[in-house]
Amino acid sequence: MTTQIQTRPDTAVRANPARDTWNVLTRELKPVVRDPFTLIFSLVQPLVFLGLFAPLLVGSSGAPVGETLQWFVPGVLVMIVLFGTGATGSNLQYEMMTGSHERTLVAPLARSSLLVGRALKEIAPIVVQAIIIVLIAWPFGFTINVPGLVIGLALLAVFGVGLGSLSYTLALKTKDREWLFWGVQQTLIFPLLILSGMLLPLDEGPAWMRAVATVNPVNWVVQAERALFAGDLGAIEVLWGWLAAVVLAAIGLAVGIRAMRRST
Amino acid sequence: MAKESIIQAQGLTKRFTVKGKTVEAVTDLAFEVARGELVAFLGPNGAGKSTSLRMLTTLIPPTSGTARVVGFDILKQPAEVRARIGYVGQLTSGSFSQRARDELLSQGAFYGMSKAAARARADELIESLDLAGFATRSVQQLSGGQKRRLDVALGLMHAPPLLFLDEPSTGLDPQSRANLWQHIIDLRARYGTTVFLTTHYLEEADRYAERVMVMDKGRVIADDTAARLKAELAGDVLTFGFADRTDAAAAVAVVQRLTDREVRLVEGTVVVTASGGDALLPAAVRALDAAGLTVQTATGVPPTLDDVFLALTGRTLREAGEGEEEPDEADDKADASAEASGTAAQVAEATGAKR
C-alpha cells in the first residue's frame, strides 16, 4: 500500500533540519516575546555582574579599567552561555512532565532540530545581552571590533548548541528526578567555570589547575573569544576555540539524538 | 477485504526491563483497522493499551513484530508515519508557558503548513472546539476540559487521516467528557478521520466506539462491536420473582425449556443470563402463566462491557485496574476469581474460543 490510497492529496511534510530548527526556535521564543519581562530581567543580571565584579578585578589587578574589561567581557559572555544553555534541559523537564515534549516527538520534525532549536532559543537573548554589555563597557575604555564580535557570537552559538544538547541529554536521563538534574548540572558547571579562567586569571593558580584547564573546552572558547574581541582574528586560540566548540556540538548532538530516540 | 486498511499490526510485541525483571507489556498484537473506523482499546490500567498506541505512533520501537500505519512501516519509515497521523497523548500537549493559539500555529508549522493555512485552520478549530474565549490565554490558565480540547485541536491541526487518542477523557468531569466526545464525533463526521483511542471507561467505549478491542495483560482478548460482544459474551440478566419458593423451583424447568443457557434458582428468584433477553422476558412470563405459575416481578438488565470483561477474564475492569501496573501479576488471582464467579463457567469457553 502506498500513499495513493489516501483520499486527500498527500501533502505530508518531510523532515528538514533547517526549517524544523527554525520552527522549534520560533515556538520557543513565543513566550519570551509574549512576556518580555523575563528577557528584561535576564538582561539585568549580567549587568549586575559586570558592575559588581569588574571593579573588584580592577582593584586587585591594578590594571587600567579598559584593559580589565577587554579581558573580562568575553569571559562574562561565555559565562552567560554556560548558564543559559546549561539550564535548557530544565525547561525540557517541564515539557516532559506534561505531554508537550511527547507531542514534538510525534511531529515530523528532524530529531536534531529539537536540540538545536532549543539551544538557539537560549542563544538569541544572549546575542542581545552581549550587544548591551559591549555598549555599556565601551565608554569605560572597552574597544569594539565588529568582525571579531560577530565571529565571537557565532562561536558562542555553536558552543551553546553543544552545551544545550548535553543539558537536554541530562534532562532526558534524569527524567522525573528534577533534583538530580540540578545536582549534576551544578556539580559540573562550577569546575568548568572556574577552570576556564573566565572570572579570575589562571596564571597565578597552581600547576595542576593550569594542567586541568588546558583540557577544559570552555577555557579554549574563552581564550578564542578574548582574541576575537581584541580583533586578533587570525590567532591560533581562535582556531582552537572553534575546534572545541564544533567537537562539543557534534558530541552533544550525537549523544542528545541517541538519548531522545531511547527516551520514550 | 472490502475496505482498505489504515492500520495493519503484525505480531507487535513490547518487552520492558524493569529493575532487572522482564515484563511483557504487549504480546503478539495483530489486527487491522479500516479507513474511517472508530475503534477503542478497552482495558484496565496496565493492560498494554498505551504501549500499543506508543508503538503505532513511532514513540517506542516494538521488541518484535511491526505495523503499517497509513501505508508506511513504523520501523522503516517512522517519519512518513509521523507526518500523516495525529496523536493526543495522555497528558497535556500544550506547553504551559505557551498561549493556546500560538501552540496551534507552531503545530501547523511543524507539519509544514503555510502561515496563512495554519492561521485559518487554527481559527476553525478554535471555533469548533469552543476555545474562542481562551485562545490567547496561556495553557497553564486553562481548565482541565479546555486543556483537553486544545490537545484534540493540536492533534487535528494538520487534518490527519488517522487520529490516535490515548485516554482522551480521563480526569474530566462527566459534562466535559460528553462535550469532548460530541466534538470528536462531529469532527469525524466532518473530516472522515479514522479514530483510534484507548479508554478504561467502559460506558464510553460502549456508547461511542463502533468497534471495541478488549485488552488485558498485553493481549487483545476480544474484538467486535460492543453490541455483539455483549450479546455473545454476556447477555441480559433476567430475574423472575414468585410468591413462594415452590413456585420458583417449579419455574426453573419452565424457563429452561426456552433457552440453552443455564437457569438458576438464586435466593428464591429465577435467574438466567441470555442474549435476546428482551424477547425472552415476555415469552417466559407467558409460558410461566400458562404453567399456572404467577410471576410477581420480572426484570431484565442489559449487559455492560464490564460484564463482557468479567466474562472474558473473570475480573471486573475495576478489580483488574487496581494495583496491577505490571501485567504479569494477577494470573493466579484471575483464575481463582473466575471459578468463584457465577458467569465464569460459560465464559471460559468463550474465552477459549476467542483465543
Q: What is the pLDDT of residue A95?
A: 85
Higher-pLDDT residue of B63, B129: B63
**In contact, B4 and B10? CB cutoff 8 Å:** no
* CB-closest option in B57, B90, B92 to A106: B57
* Closest residue by Cα to residue A76 from A187, A257, A200, A216: A200
A88–chain B Cβ distance below 8 A for any pair: no
A258–chain B Cβ distance below 8 A for any pair: no
Q: What is the pLDDT of residues B48-58, one digit of tens each?
A: 999 999 999 99
* Strands across the sheet containing B236-242: B263-266, B269-274, B236-242, B295-301
- Give the three cell numbers for residue B175: 459534562
Return the minimum-mean-pLDDT range out of B148-152, B229-233, B246-250.
B229-233
Q: What is the pLDDT of residue B322?
A: 64
How confident is residue B116, by pLDDT bands cut at 50, 70 and 90?
very high
- Give the three cell numbers for residue A78: 561565555
Return the minimum-mean-pLDDT range out of A34-48, A157-171, B215-229, B246-260.
A34-48
CATH fold of B5-229 = Rossmann fold (3.40.50)
Among chain B residues, the shortest Cα distance to A101 is held by B93
Question: Quick one: average pLDDT of A11-35?
Answer: 88
At residue B329, does pLDDT exceed 60? Answer: no
d(CA B299, CA A27): 60
Q: Which residues contact B5 (CB under 8 A, 6 or more apart)?
A: A1, B32, B33, B34, B35
Question: Quick one: average pLDDT of A117-126?
Answer: 86
Question: Quick one: average pLDDT of A99-121?
Answer: 90
At residue B17, does pLDDT exceed 90? Answer: no
| Amino acid in position B343 | T
Tell if the CB–CB gap between B111 and A106 is shorter than 8 Å.
no
Tell if the CB–CB gap between A27 and B87 is shorter than 8 Å.
no
* CB-closest option in B96, B103, B154 to A94: B96
What are the DSSP calls for B309-321, one per residue? HHHHHSS-HHHHH
Using a CB-CB cut-off of 8 Å, the residues of chain B touching A34 are 99, 102
Phi first, then psi: give them for residue B255, nearest 5 degrees. Answer: -70, -35
d(CA A119, CA A32): 14
**Residue B182, exposed/middle/buried by CB under 10 A (0-12, 13-18, 19+)?**
exposed
**Strand pairing class (B5-18; B64-69):** antiparallel
How confident is residue A151, by pLDDT bands cut at 50, 70 and 90?
very high
At residue A6, does pLDDT exceed 80? Answer: no
**In contact, A216 and A196? CB cutoff 8 Å:** yes
**In contact, B230 and B223? CB cutoff 8 Å:** no
Q: What is the pLDDT of residue A11?
A: 63
Return the minimum-mean-pLDDT range out of A49-53, A210-214, B148-152.
A49-53
A30–chain B Cβ distance below 8 A for any pair: yes
At residue B334, does pLDDT exceed 60? Answer: no
Q: Which residue has the cell 430475574?
A: B239
Tell if the CB–CB gap between A95 and B95 is shorter than 8 Å.
yes
Question: Quick one: average pLDDT of B169-181?
Answer: 81
3-state secondary structure (DSSP) of residue A138? helix
Question: Quick one: average pLDDT of A136-144?
Answer: 87
Beta-bridged to residue B92, according to DSSP, are none
| Residue B296 parent element (H or E) | strand B295-301
Q: What is the domain partition of chain B in residue ranges? A: 5-229, 236-301
Using a CB-CB cut-off of 8 Å, the residues of chain B touching A103 are 87, 89, 93, 107, 154
Return the minimum-mean-pLDDT range out of A54-63, A111-120, A156-165.
A54-63
**In contact, A76 and A46? CB cutoff 8 Å:** yes
Q: What is the pLDDT of residue A42?
A: 76
With an 8 Å Cβ cutoff, the interface of chain B facing chain A consists of: 4-5, 35, 54, 57-60, 68, 70-71, 79-80, 82-85, 87, 89-99, 102-103, 106-107, 109-112, 138, 151, 154, 159, 161, 192
Q: What is the pLDDT of residue A10?
A: 58
Tell if the CB–CB gap between B71 and A3 is shorter than 8 Å.
yes
Q: What is the pLDDT of residue B102?
A: 95
d(CA A123, CA A175): 24
Among chain A residues, the shortest Cα distance to B159 is held by A8
Q: What is the pLDDT of residue A190?
A: 86
Distance from CA of B57 to the nearest CA of A (A): 7
Q: Which residues contact A51 (CB under 8 A, 6 or more apart)?
A: none
A104–chain B Cβ distance below 8 A for any pair: yes
ipTM: 0.82
Distance from CA of A77 to the nearest CA of B (A): 27
Question: Quick one: average pLDDT of B244-271?
Answer: 90
**Crossing angle of helices A146-173 and A217-229, rounded to 10°:** 160
At residue A35, does pLDDT exceed 90? Answer: no
Q: Which residue has the cell 549580567?
A: A46
How confident is residue A80, by pLDDT bands cut at 50, 70 and 90?
confident
At residue A197, does pLDDT exceed 50? Answer: yes
Using a CB-CB cut-off of 8 Å, the residues of chain A touching B58 are 106
Among chain A residues, the shortest Cα distance to B50 is held by A264
Tell if the CB–CB gap between B95 and A100 is shorter than 8 Å.
yes
Tell if the CB–CB gap between A27 and B192 is shorter than 8 Å.
no
**Mean pLDDT, chain B, integer:** 84
**In contact, A164 and A115? CB cutoff 8 Å:** yes
**In contact, B347 and B311? CB cutoff 8 Å:** yes
Beta-bridged to residue B265, according to DSSP, are B270
Q: What is the pLDDT of residue A3?
A: 35
Using a CB-CB cut-off of 8 Å, the residues of chain B touching A12 are 80, 83-84, 112
* pTM > 0.90: yes or no: no
d(CA B4, CA A7): 11
Phi first, then psi: give them for residue B26, nearest 5 degrees. Answer: -135, 135
Tell if the CB–CB gap between A5 and B4 is shorter than 8 Å.
yes
- Give the three cell numbers for residue A250: 557534534
- Give the three cell numbers for residue A186: 551544578
Domain at B236-301: CATH code = 3.30.70.790
CA–chain centroid gap for B189, Å, is 20
Return the minimum-mean-pLDDT range out of A40-44, A106-110, B281-285.
A40-44
Provide the number of CB pairs (under 8 Å) joining chain A to chain B. Answer: 105
- Mutation to test the A interface, candidates B84, B194, B196, most A Cβ within 10 Å: B84
How confident is residue B219, by pLDDT bands cut at 50, 70 and 90?
very high
Share of chain B above pLDDT 70, in %: 89
3-state secondary structure (DSSP) of residue B234? helix
Q: What is the domain partition of chain A in residue ranges? A: 62-263
Per DSSP, B231 falls in state: I
Tell if the CB–CB gap between B79 and A6 is shorter than 8 Å.
no
Q: Which residue has the cell 463482557?
A: B308
